[in-house]
Structure 1
Amino acid sequence: MAYGRAMDTALQSLQTAALTGRQREILSLVAKGFTNVDIGELLGIARGTVKNHVATIIERLEVSNRTEASTLFLQAELQSKNGGQTSRRHGPRIAVLPFRSAGTETCRRYVAQGLGEAIIQVLTNAHRLQVLAPESPRRLQEMGLRRAAIGRQLQATHIVQGLITFSGEQLRIRISVYDCADDSELLVSEYPCTLQQVFTTQAAIAAAIAARLKAAPAEDSACPSTAHTEAAHAFWRGRFFWNKRTPEDIVSSLELFQQSINASADFTLAYVGIADACHQLGMYTGMPTADIFQKARDAAQAAVQLDQQSAQAQTSLAYSHMVFDWDFERAEQGFRRALDLDENYSWGYAWHSYLCMLQCRFDEALALVLRAQDLDPLSAPLYIHVGHVYRSRGLYDQAIAELERCIEMEPLNIRALGWLAATHAEVGQFSIAEKYIQRAIELSRRHPHLLAVLGYIYGRMGESGRQQALLDELQRRTESEFISPLFPAMCLVAGSDHAAAMGYIERALQQRAPMLLHWLCDPMFRHLSDQPGYRQVAEALGLPVIAGQSGL
């Protein structure tokens, strides 16, 4: 029996308690990427015992290997979180599966991916339909689920599939729409075109889908122009690299977004692409931030000037107001405006949630990010953000649960590993914390942020010598690369030299380091709340002062 066809049966085995409590515990650790040796050390049992348990798990779940077992575990977790209930919604809820194309050439892959996302945008913006973000359907399809199972998992009412066949410069696009209630085929349409014309077809395809679902006709002002053919090709190639989310690929996407603007200076989405790429580089890669965030804000402002009705543009500009200008009032207005324009834009909810978290509006933050998760239920970054909200509120068990779900989906997700390590440290689970952070450091080639987290963990453990060795490494590296002052501050915050930690934080304030916003409200840095300079820094940022931690 094929893996995709066997998945429902194996999932039922998992949900009907075919495994013992110990086996479930081991499967949870396998899904997080731990080796048999790691699991044995964490549970205090022999490696051979772990190996036997894993073999039994694979046999009882009727799968072939630990990877397939991990996938089923994730599916059970997601079903448990959803409660098996269908949400109360009005109107269609559509999942667009990744479009398929013959061949593996990059050109064909970016055309297939780009056309699918372009159709999603037209369905959402022009026809006001609720369409799930593309990451969740893609992830479920990669896991081997059949169409009907994907529909159930995402609580979708309809599924759209696309197949693109190439013959030289000629293409044929086949679109199918299915009713998730009985998996019946509601629509089959074909669209012949040339490669150059492919990104002029999305309006016609979206109109056919909307008409079949009896949705509102498109608003003319929301339909994409057919005058941006060359710009669209460059933009969707950029999105192809952007979706990989590595620093190198984000830099490549920036170059392609600029090519898109060079081809059509009024192509709004290309400016949004530049803004979002610069935001990512500024926040997560350690680049000096002033220039990169100025470029992001300029691009976001240009996007809004071109199209004030674009929720993506409004969200990007609001994000710049939040992390670069520290103008939270304008950021709030921007996020609200974006969600008024598109109530189904998941990242509008996510970034508005981030602002609420910074301002200690935790109930609002959680409600907003859970709405984002409803629209993109398998997004790894959203699981990380839910974990941040719980962590910032001091609800560490809930934070760990969300971050572990992310690791179950993406065992090599460096950000999730780092924050999971820090959160285990907050509850005194230092051996688990050290395993997670060592794995993240190895994967990241000793990224300074993760070295700082390890320094914090060593400080909590009372390992002052090892903590100092990491601080020395960070200081040596400042001679050859940019190291944010926040990293040595994190190393020091769990030790006794809080005055030195505050000195680094004040330097980060002078540099307008964007991550200072997040870190100042994080439990790690609340250990400094009794320091004279802490209140001044919080007031300079416009953030509330939060009571410190005890028990160091």
Structure 2
Amino acid sequence: MSNQKLALVSTLEIASVGLGVVVRSYLEKSAARYAVNPRNFFGELKRRNVYKVAIAYAVVAWLLMQAASQIFPFFEIPNWAVRLVVLLLIMGFPVALILAWAFELTPEGLKTTEVADELPRKSERKRAWIYVVIIAGAVAASLFFFGRYTSSKQGAEMSEKSIAVLPFENWSEDKANAYFAEGVQDEILTRLSKIADLKVTSRTSTQHYKSAPENLAEIAKQLGVAHILEGSVQKSGDAVRVNVQLIKAANDSQVWAETFDRKLTDIFSVESDVAKAIADQLRAHITRQEEQVIAAKPTKNIEAYDAYLRGRYFWNKRTSDGIKHAIEHFQQSIEHDPDFALGHAGLADSYIALTFYNFAAPHETMPKAKESAIKALALDDTLAEAHASLAHILMNYDWNWSAAEKEFKRSIELTPDYATGHQWYAIHYLTATGRFEEAVREMKKALKLEPASLVMNTFMGATLYYAGRYDEAIDQCRRTIEMDPNFAVAHWHLGLAYEQKQALDAATEEFKKAISLSGGSPLMKAALVRAYAKSQKKHEANEMLNELNELWKRQYVSAYEVATITSRLVTTNRHFNCWKTHTRSTRSNSFI
């Protein structure tokens, strides 16, 4: 395709150069014979119909651009072709004006202006150009309003092309196979999300719902979708049975259902067949490229895939032990298939999570995360998740901000519906660079994609907090806690917002709840110590600071958080500088 573009551009360059030579030669000869009075230049433009041609050209060009933008996508013509049409029309405008100056269309054919001036004129021809402009303008306007009408109609229909995949039930006799049922659900959801014509709610928005809830209409309303996919998985030896049913939530009616009995090695075909069947039932258009992506097999080694599913199962727990188990399984998947890109991407995400949740020091895990992310992208450069992971590392560990933004944007470009890509770009990059309004807009995109996600709702509040909009942050965090009172991170961010409003008693209570719900997070303990220090409760602050110091001897504690606390409590700089130096040496992301 790129060779065709280059050839076309070369041809256009040669043609434009040749035309330029001819026109320039004519103009030089014409100028030698007929001198134009500069004072009468605009009158000469009118006499030579240059104004008429300019207006007609503009109208026809707009008509062609509207036609290209409406028709090309229907035939799956690439977007660069539309841009090429626009470029050619822009390039053609000065050429049309030059030709209008030099030539005139007469009943005897195309003549030079000087020759045409000597021919007798027919008055009825003078206004012919007006009719051309009116007709072309009417057609262009019709195309424009037709496009607006169809796009708004498509927008209304898009809600019907929306789906949420609820957690699949594990019907296996061995309850330890729950990871497999969850993995099949994840893979079907991932394949559906590759179809641009479908709106698919992510797993983080659906994971807290039951497999077969009774209030489907209410759940669909919360998630902003018209359809729900329920399913179950039964795994026994090398055989697997997958039951799925597509339900229209508005009237709780079954749209489609199917049972797949396959060998374990054929599980990828099941996932692809389900995605294609759903797209067909919802009348979603699938491009050839999307069809290839949906049908692709991420690995030929079923043992590698099984280990990967186990890894994702433990990674989704977001606990210290869970993430460590996930690393073991992702490493096993790579051992079975060193070219398994998803295995490397999962390993990168796990190492990042260890640091993000303060379970390990950045200098111990982030280099490993970077190596895994780069390996994943070397194997498959279309993995949006791996681009987002690499961006996270470049931003929070390498402190290479320009490269990080490039990777964030690449992730969003590959998968615009990947909410985590928008979230990380907002919370890690845009807020850190002081682009707070952009961060809020980006975070709103993530929240729109996953309206029921506790993570997205919480980090919407966090983004408002970083933007200095503390009242809005408090309201957002409160709404999140109403969704789930046991979500520790929401209590933590609510406490941070209260702290900035100097509501220190309220902040203290929220930090205590966050510590209890998180199982004693050092990060949240540090926030409580800071609140104590600001409230002049030095005894309580020193007690918890000593607890953090003891904890630091056994596990990782963010040096930056302790340094900010110490700066409020100690009378000398020695202790503070010690923690500050440790912050730099471990490359804590909080230091940004």
Percent identity of equivalent pairs: 28
Task: Write the letter of the residue equivalent to 2:291.
Answer: E
Structure 2 residue 267 is matched with structure 1 residue 198 = yes
Task: Write the letter of the residue equivalent to 1:223.
Answer: A
Deviation at 1:501, TM superposition (A): 4.3
1:426 is aligned, of 492, 500, 506, to 500
Q: Are the equivalent residues in 2 in contact too, given 1:460–1:495 (CA < 8 A)?
A: no
Moved more, 313-322 or 297-306: 313-322
Deviation at 1:298, TM superposition (A): 0.5
Unaligned runs of 5+ residues in structure 2 are 1-154
Structure 2 residue 385 is matched with structure 1 residue 316 = no
Q: Identify the residue that residue 296 of structure 2 maps to in structure 1.
A: 224
Deviations 1:105-152 (A, max 9, x none): 444312211111101111222666321102323324479552222222
SS of alignment partner, residue 565 of structure 2: helix
Structure 2 residue 332 is matched with structure 1 residue 262 = no
Task: Write the letter of the residue equivalent to 2:226.
Answer: T
Structure 2 residue 414 is matched with structure 1 residue 338 = no
Aligned length: 431
Structure 2 residue 226 is matched with structure 1 residue 157 = yes
Deviation at 1:353, TM superposition (A): 0.8
Q: Identify the residue that residue 249 of structure 1 maps to in structure 2.
A: 322
SS of alignment partner, residue 139 of structure 1: coil
Inter-partner Cα distance in structure 1 for 2:556 and 2:237: 47
Deviation at 1:94, TM superposition (A): 1.5
Q: Identify the residue that residue 489 of structure 2 maps to in structure 1.
A: 415
Inter-partner Cα distance in structure 2 for 1:89 and 1:363: 31
Q: Are the equivalent residues in 1 in contact too, given 2:205–2:454 (CA < 8 A)?
A: no
Structure 2 residue 436 is matched with structure 1 residue 362 = yes
Deviations 1:88-108 (A, max 9, x none): 684622111112232574443
Task: Indicate how the Cα distance of structure 1 residues 486 and 145 shifts in structure 2: closer, same or farther if over 3 A, else same.
Answer: farther
Moved more, 441-450 or 232-241: 441-450
SS of alignment partner, residue 428 of structure 1: coil
Q: Identify the residue that residue 20 of structure 1 maps to in structure 2.
A: none
Task: Indicate how the Cα distance of structure 1 residues 365 and 498 shifts in structure 2: closer, same or farther if over 3 A, else same.
Answer: farther
Q: Are the equivalent residues in 2 in contact too, given 1:383–1:403 (CA < 8 A)?
A: yes
Inter-partner Cα distance in structure 1 for 2:535 and 2:280: 62
Task: Indicate how the Cα distance of structure 1 residues 167 and 290 shifts in structure 2: closer, same or farther if over 3 A, else same.
Answer: closer
Alignment of 1:98-497 (within 5 A): 98-102=167-171, 105-125=174-194, 129-141=198-210, 144=213, 146-165=215-234, 169-214=238-283, 215-217=285-287, 218-221=290-293, 223-225=295-297, 227-354=300-427, 355-494=429-568
Unaligned runs of 5+ residues in structure 1 are 1-86, 518-552
SS of alignment partner, residue 208 of structure 2: helix
Q: Are the equivalent residues in 2 in contact too, given 1:139–1:378 (CA < 8 A)?
A: no
Q: Which structure is higher in RCO with an 8 Å CA cutoff and minimum separation 6?
A: 1
Q: Identify the residue that residue 30 of structure 2 maps to in structure 1.
A: none
Inter-partner Cα distance in structure 2 for 1:98 and 1:381: 18
Inter-partner Cα distance in structure 2 for 1:422 and 1:143: 37
Q: Name the larger-Rg structure.
A: 2
Deviation at 1:394, TM superposition (A): 2.0
Deviations 1:167-223 (A, max 9, x none): 665332222223345443222222111345334421122111122222215432553
Deviation at 1:272, TM superposition (A): 1.1
Inter-partner Cα distance in structure 2 for 1:259 and 1:166: 21
Please provide the CA RMSD for this pair.
2.6
SS of alignment partner, residue 254 of structure 2: strand
Inter-partner Cα distance in structure 1 for 2:330 and 2:458: 27
Inter-partner Cα distance in structure 1 for 2:339 and 2:463: 37
Task: Indicate how the Cα distance of structure 1 residues 134 and 321 shifts in structure 2: closer, same or farther if over 3 A, else same.
Answer: same
Deviation at 1:307, TM superposition (A): 0.8
TM-score, length of structure 1 as denominator length:
0.72
Deviation at 1:506, TM superposition (A): 4.4
Moved more, 373-382 or 490-499: 490-499
Task: Indicate how the Cα distance of structure 1 residues 305 and 345 shifts in structure 2: closer, same or farther if over 3 A, else same.
Answer: same
1:505 is aligned, of 573, 580, 585, to 580
Q: Are the equivalent residues in 2 in contact too, given 1:127–1:219 (CA < 8 A)?
A: no
TM-score, length of structure 2 as denominator length:
0.67
Deviation at 1:319, TM superposition (A): 1.3
Inter-partner Cα distance in structure 2 for 1:482 and 1:183: 50
Deviation at 1:452, TM superposition (A): 1.6
Inter-partner Cα distance in structure 1 for 2:490 and 2:406: 30
SS of alignment partner, residue 377 of structure 1: coil
Deviation at 1:408, TM superposition (A): 2.9
Which is richer in helix? 2
Task: Indicate how the Cα distance of structure 1 residues 338 and 427 shifts in structure 2: closer, same or farther if over 3 A, else same.
Answer: same
Task: Write the letter of the residue equivalent to 2:344.
Answer: Y
Task: Write the letter of the residue equivalent to 2:258.
Answer: S
Deviations 1:428-472 (A, max 9, x none): 333322222223334445443223212111111112233233333
Inter-partner Cα distance in structure 1 for 2:184 and 2:230: 12
Inter-partner Cα distance in structure 2 for 1:245 and 1:105: 24
Task: Indicate how the Cα distance of structure 1 residues 335 and 89 shifts in structure 2: closer, same or farther if over 3 A, else same.
Answer: farther
Deviations 1:47-74 (A, max 9, x none): xxxxxxxxxxxxxxxxxxxxxxxxxxxx
Task: Indicate how the Cα distance of structure 1 residues 290 and 473 shifts in structure 2: closer, same or farther if over 3 A, else same.
Answer: same
Q: Identify the residue that residue 54 of structure 1 maps to in structure 2.
A: none
Q: Are the equivalent residues in 1 in contact too, given 2:437–2:467 (CA < 8 A)?
A: no
Task: Indicate how the Cα distance of structure 1 residues 286 and 178 shifts in structure 2: closer, same or farther if over 3 A, else same.
Answer: closer
Alignment of 1:40-55 (within 5 A): none
